[in-house]
Amino acid sequence: MTILVGYVPSALGEAALRAAVEQARFRDESLLVVNTSRGDAYADPRLAPEADLERVVRELTAAGVPHAVRQLVRGRDAAEEIVEIVESEQISLVVIGIRHRTPVGKLIMGSSAQEILLRVPCPVLAVKAH
């Protein structure tokens, strides 16, 4: 089985990646790093630059964790992409980073984390950045 981690180039993404590596080692499973963007903005801070993904690959290789990295820009939000992957592949755990949002902020903006928590059929580990 495989652990999927939703990765963004930020403190949240790094926290999720660290937690996913720990889980992969503990469970003796491979890791699938997913970075996604809708592609509808000129500059999307969630889309990891190539150099960042190369660093992630180097770190995972050095850590001895079997891994794959996917960067998806297909006009869909992160939750849709992650739910589709979980439903079509053998994913045992999803790891995501979360940030604090007010109830009003969640109501107005929605929440990818909330959608993932409600829709995927496997456990979800939600971590905060330190």
Q: Which residue has the tokens 């940030």?
A: 99
Q: Which residue has the tokens 């509808």?
A: 40
Q: What is the pLDDT of residue 23?
A: 98
Q: What is the pLDDT of residue 40?
A: 77
Q: Determine the average pLDDT of the residues in 25-38.
A: 96
How many other CB atoms are found less than 10 A from the CB of residue 76? 16
Answer CATH for 2-127 from 3.30.1490.100, 4.10.80.40, 3.40.50.300, 3.40.50.620: 3.40.50.620
Q: What is the pLDDT of residue 110?
A: 56
Q: Answer whether residue 101 shows pLDDT above 80.
A: no
- Predicted confidence (pLDDT) per residue in 71-83, tens digit: 999 989 999 999 9
Q: To the nearest whole number, what is the mean pLDDT of the chain?
A: 91
Q: Determine the average pLDDT of the residues in 93-113.
A: 73
On the CB side of 46, CA atoms within 13 Å amount to: 18
User: What's this model's pTM, rounded to 2 decimal places?
Assistant: 0.90
Domain ranges of the chain: 2-127
Q: What is the pLDDT of residue 108?
A: 47
Q: Determine the average pLDDT of the residues in 81-109.
A: 82
Proportion of the chain above pLDDT 90, given as a percent: 77
Q: What is the pLDDT of residue 38?
A: 87
Proportion of the chain above pLDDT 70, given as a percent: 92
Q: Quick one: the chain helix, strand, coil %, rounded to 5? A: 45, 25, 30
Q: Answer whether residue 100 shows pLDDT above 60.
A: yes
